[in-house]
Amino acid sequence: MTLLTNTQTQQLLANGRANAAHIGVDGKTEDFKPVVKIFCPWTGATWLISELDPEDPDLAFGLCDLGFGSPELGNVRLSEIEGVRGPGGLTIERDIHFTATKTLTEYADEAYRAGAIVA
């Protein structure tokens, strides 16, 4: 399974372009809903990704939780996530059933209180 579908990639890039334009105008960004949920099936690591950098599409922005009780908003390289291998050759997966119901900041606020992403 590919980490992102073409449709997700296009939406993530569109979100990244929109926020790059916002930053250029007033420094503020739009709080998008996450487009994709990525998770590690053998640990508690989870990522909710809301945008890709249009100038470096390997660089994603979202809510990152490595399963240690301290989720945070930030950037992550998709190539690094894709390169992770677990027991028996397991790989990081995309949650095909995930549909965002809140903005990334709302998920982050909830994750900070819970100590983990709840999605």
**Residue 98 included in any domain:** yes
CB 105 within 8 A of CB 31: yes
Strand ranges inside the chain, DSSP E: 36-39, 46-53, 56-65, 72-77, 93-94
**Contact indicator for 14, 53 with CB cutoff of 8 Å:** no
Decide if 119 is inside a domain: no
Q: How confident is the model over 25-66, as pLDDT tens digits?
A: 888 899 999 999 999 999 989 999 999 999 999 999 999 999
1 in any annotated domain: no
Which tokens go with 8? 């997700």
Could you tell me the pTM of the whole model?
A: 0.94
Average pLDDT over residues 58-75: 96
Count structural domains, the chain. 1
pLDDT score for 57: 97
Q: Pick left, alpha or beta for residue 44 (phi over 0 → left; psi -120 to 50 → alpha; otherwise beta).
A: alpha
Q: What is the 8-class DSSP label of residue 75? A: E
For 65, the domain range is: 6-114
Domain-embedded: residue 55: yes
Give the model's pLDDT for residue 27: 80
